[in-house]
Structure 1
Amino acid sequence: MTGITLIISFVIAIIIMIWSIAKLKVHPFLALMSVSLGLALVAGIPLDKIPALIGTGFSGTFKSIGIVIIFGAIIGTILEKTGAALKLADMVIKFVGQKRPELAMLIMGWVVGIPVFCDSGFVVLNPIREAIRRKIAASPVGMAVALSAGLYASHVFIPPTPGPIAAAGAIGLGNNLLLVILMGILVSFPVLVASYFFAKRVSKTIVISDEKDSDDAIYQSYDELIKHYGKLPSGFLSLAPIIAPILLMALGSIAKIMGLSGDIGIFIQFLGNPIIALAVGVVFAVLLLAQSKKMNEFDTLTNDTLKVVGPILFITAAGGVLGNVITQAGFVEYIKENAHIISSAGIFFPFLISAILKTAQGSSTVAIITTASIMGGFEASDSLMNALGLTSDMAAALTVMAIAAGAMCVSHANDSYYWVVTNFTKLTPQQGYRTQTALTFIMGTVGMLTVYLLSLILL
């Protein structure tokens, strides 16, 4: 199959996948695998090659990024369960001060959202938001919007959350996660600034009905949350599981750039490998458990984490299958032959694909993983990355950021995070569209504009 028929088949396959996930509630793993098989058959790939094609796409993804995703998720779970996430939040509040509640919530969410899923992060930090609101009579809507934005920004832009890690692996940056982390931090800054001003604005325009709970009940709920964790861990151990892997990856990158050789150079680059660096992060997380006297919960926490991260791994691997089928079907070759048609889209192409997937089916992680799988590796001659001319490490990192920005646009009724934010803030669905949906549209748009400006400078 060649030409326009191939393009039509691809578009139909994506529509069927979105429809299956969004309307029929088919699990993304099954939807991706089914669409991959169907597309392989329609594209005329020989039957005897299809099983190996599926197996290669599936196993290749696990090999490149699976362990990193698991380690990152374990770190996040331990930070949440030991109260380290609350400790980080308290540190942010002391740093920013209670006179700027929206800013405090924004930074708090951004820090905690790096290792913790945004849904869980909002639930964990919401009592702090409530307590601060009652204490200084701040706008509950403005603080909630700021907290949501901070969590969401780091959730989509900065590893070790599974989405950007998986995207980095699919794009070909699995061994250079530090670059993705640094670009994620850089791109998230303008997004956070825009979110802060939006939060300040909605705090004056949207009012919710007063909660029936008394001030004492709010304080009591916060005190009970602290008592649940017991004594909060130290600031050092709360930060170490996040900071240690970043520092090790930075040292590894420096050693590689400087061309250090010999035993020392090999050892530093060994420690800087994302798998080893995150393994060190897990070690610090275990020390955190020991300090919190919760080592007896380690096995349970690990099992719970694997249950959560398992579907993400399978979706990631299924996305690798789809990407492999797309490549072998000849779609990329056709794009290359007609590169002049889409070359003007450039870095906006992955953003648009990701935004369509996010808006249609609701999950940012699924949108990120699927889009990255479609784009393929930046070093592969038969990938969309190559067809678009995005063939350097920096171009690949910016592509991950463009995909992440698209995966923000937009959060609405088919997104679980939308309902977490609106329900805990006591917003009506209509107010949710004016706050959470509008916020995520602004965040995604500002994120993509930032990526575009960086591409003009760095590419």
Structure 2
Amino acid sequence: MLDLLVLLLGVLILLVMIIKFKINTFISLIVVAVLVGLGLRMPLGQIPVSIQNGIGGSLGELAIVFGFGAMLGRLIADAGGAYRIAKTLINSFGKKRIQWAIMLASFIIGIALFFEVGMVLLIPIVFAVALEASVPLIYLGIPMAAGLSVTHGFLPPHPAPIAISGALGANPGTVLMFGIIAAIPTVIVAGPIFTKIARKWVPEAFVVKTKLSAFGEIKQWELKDTPSFGISILTALMPVILMAISTIYSIVFNNGKPFAAATTSILKAGKVVTTTTYPTSVIENIMMFLGNPVSAMVISLLFALWTMGWKQHKKTAEMMTTVVDSVKSIAMLLLVIGGGAALKQILIDGGISSQISEMFKGSNLSPLILAWIITVILRVALGSATVAALTAAGLVQPMMANMSPNMAALMVLAIGAGSIAASHVNDAGFWMFKEYFDLDVKQTLKTWTVLETIIAVVGLGMVMLLSIFVH
């Protein structure tokens, strides 16, 4: 219980540093990570190692994905492609239904892409749509984030649902089927419906912006000077297409599990020897390559250099200026995400998850509700949705002995819903939403944190409703 108080005190100190004293977010996160590590009685030498591992583990892949994603988005915007997509969407759906169009697009894209990748790719297009429709960015941003979050927490082939399915012996195909049924009403409630409430609750966040610090200013365009809608949308969705090809192939030929390298460790001559083996099939190696966000972004950026650059008769030097400017705009965003990951790692290495598991021994609650509660507490304490979900799956495994395959699938969804709840200052997604939408911490807590909690609560409600009909 003392360690949970340390966590609460750490969060309060962080909020005071950022909100009251206006200290840089990245500096505040690192300072609080050290203080929390001391409060959790971690060895002094372990604290900097945990911070380093947290930042390295988070930014190892994200640095490339975010960097190339920012370059891709800026190339599309600076060539007029984002404007063309925005204009076409508004003309097709009308301003009154544009929010639903963005939510649907985000949901579809979110099935194939990780949350972070989807956010990076969609922001420039959603920003262009918001400007053209003269609506606040967050008016479209909430439905966009809802679509991406729901798919991230509920639907295979995302890492957490796949990993939990494996741990609990659930069929990923069944999880996907039930997940879509639960996800549709959840995303509607958390998207367009919550936006109406948030607009009255946090009116200061709903202002029309012409410039974002994490993206820059959108140029003004004449439609005749922009690339065609077909080539613009193909360029924007290229990472989605590449990863979807891999996803569909894995569903058809690999029971929904993504192709991955296998790592084995053996004791040899007193030393642990780790070996990594890759799929022997050429087609499986290709699918593994296409399905990786890093390679998908690299291919997509090269494609964008041609479609949004050379094909539009742009000079290479001009495109490289765009590339450099795009990376400058996300530098602090990357540091802030790394700082959030450092705090998360301190909490994990400090052993808070094991204390939480002890709190629920011998409980008589419904297994689905109990799994959800455990996951929510882990999510609030640890920050990472994936870590919370996997830790919870390990804790609820003893309850799975007499469960049918269908109920096992619902257990995966209950844990997935809980893993999204109450995202706050120890979650990288919190800082990502704050920086991209130019919000302060209070506004982010009132919008993003509430949005994620609504998804978790409505998601659990849908799981319990399904459990009435599924045995």
Amino acid paired to 1:235: G
Amino acid paired to 2:331: G
Query: C-alpha root-mean-square deviation of aligned residues, in Å?
Result: 5.2
Q: Which moved more, 1:63-72 or 1:183-192?
A: 183-192
Length, aligned pairs only: 382
Q: Which moved more, 1:271-280 or 1:248-257?
A: 248-257
Contact 2:420 2:453 in 1 (8 A): no
- Offset at 1:201? 11
1:293 aligns to 2:313 (yes or no): yes
- Offset at 1:184? 9.7
SS at the partner of 1:225? Answer: coil
Give me the whole-angstrom Cα distance separating, in 1, the residues matched to 2:449 and 2:43: 43
Question: Counterparts in 2 of 1:302-321, with a 5 A limit?
Answer: 302-321=323-342
* TM-score, structure 1 as length reference: 0.63
Amino acid paired to 2:96: E
Within the candidate set 269, 276, 280, 2:288 is matched to 269
Give me the whole-angstrom Cα distance separating, in 2, the residues matched to 1:202 and 1:62: 31
1:236 matched residue in structure 2: 231
Contact 1:84 1:232 in 2 (8 A): yes
Contact 2:417 2:457 in 1 (8 A): no
Structure 1 gaps, min length 5: 131-139, 204-223, 358-369, 421-432
1:210 matched residue in structure 2: none
Give me the whole-angstrom Cα distance separating, in 2, the residues matched to 1:335 and 1:309: 36
Within the candidate set 188, 191, 202, 2:187 is matched to 191
Per-residue CA deviations over 1:334-374 (Å, capped at 9, x if unaligned) read: 112223479856436666898x99xxxxxxxxxxxx7227x
1:280 aligns to 2:299 (yes or no): yes
2:101 matched residue in structure 1: 107
Give me the whole-angstrom Cα distance separating, in 1, the residues matched to 2:378 and 2:359: 18
1:371 matched residue in structure 2: 383
Give me the whole-angstrom Cα distance separating, in 2, the residues matched to 1:444 and 1:33: 24
Give me the whole-angstrom Cα distance separating, in 2, the residues matched to 1:285 and 1:10: 44
- Offset at 1:8? 1.2
- Offset at 1:156? 5.4
- Offset at 1:393? 11
SS at the partner of 2:74? Answer: helix
Q: Which moved more, 1:267-276 or 1:290-299?
A: 290-299
Give me the whole-angstrom Cα distance separating, in 2, the residues matched to 1:64 and 1:298: 24
Structure 2 gaps, min length 5: 110-117, 164-171, 200-218, 260-278, 401-407, 425-429
Contact 1:347 1:452 in 2 (8 A): yes
Give me the whole-angstrom Cα distance separating, in 1, the residues matched to 2:447 and 2:345: 35
Give me the whole-angstrom Cα distance separating, in 2, the residues matched to 1:48 and 1:201: 47
1:29 matched residue in structure 2: 26
Question: Counterparts in 2 of 1:46-57, with a 5 A limit?
Answer: 46-57=43-54
1:452 aligns to 2:460 (yes or no): yes
Amino acid paired to 1:14: V
Contact 2:190 2:451 in 1 (8 A): yes
- Cα distance change, pair 320–19 in 1 and its aligned pair in 2 (3 A): same
Question: Counterparts in 2 of 1:335-374, with a 5 A limit?
Answer: 335-340=356-361, 344=369, 346-347=371-372, 371-372=383-384
Contact 2:143 2:187 in 1 (8 A): no
Contact 1:88 1:238 in 2 (8 A): yes
- Offset at 1:12? 0.8
Give me the whole-angstrom Cα distance separating, in 1, the residues matched to 2:436 and 2:295: 32
1:257 aligns to 2:261 (yes or no): no
- Cα distance change, pair 64–371 in 1 and its aligned pair in 2 (3 A): same
Contact 2:54 2:343 in 1 (8 A): yes
Per-residue CA deviations over 1:116-150 (Å, capped at 9, x if unaligned) read: 588765653345325xxxxxxxxx8xx98864544
2:243 matched residue in structure 1: 246
Contact 2:375 2:388 in 1 (8 A): no
* TM-score, structure 2 as length reference: 0.62
SS at the partner of 1:41? Answer: helix
Per-residue CA deviations over 1:295-317 (Å, capped at 9, x if unaligned) read: 43322222222223322322232
Give me the whole-angstrom Cα distance separating, in 2, the residues matched to 1:304 and 1:334: 46
1:329 matched residue in structure 2: 350
Give me the whole-angstrom Cα distance separating, in 1, the residues matched to 2:445 and 2:248: 40
Give me the whole-angstrom Cα distance separating, in 2, the residues matched to 1:172 and 1:233: 38
Give me the whole-angstrom Cα distance separating, in 2, the residues matched to 1:16 and 1:67: 32
- Offset at 1:13? 1.1
Within the candidate set 63, 66, 75, 2:60 is matched to 63
Question: Counterparts in 2 of 1:151-230, with a 5 A limit?
Answer: 151-154=144-147, 187=183, 190-192=186-188, 196=192, 225-227=220-222, 230=225
- Cα distance change, pair 184–153 in 1 and its aligned pair in 2 (3 A): farther
Contact 2:146 2:191 in 1 (8 A): no
Amino acid paired to 1:321: A
- Cα distance change, pair 337–18 in 1 and its aligned pair in 2 (3 A): same
Contact 2:18 2:24 in 1 (8 A): yes
Give me the whole-angstrom Cα distance separating, in 1, the residues matched to 2:355 and 2:313: 59
Q: Which moved more, 1:114-123 or 1:21-30?
A: 114-123
Contact 2:30 2:339 in 1 (8 A): yes
- Offset at 1:115? 5.3
- Offset at 1:37? 0.9
- Offset at 1:444? 4.9
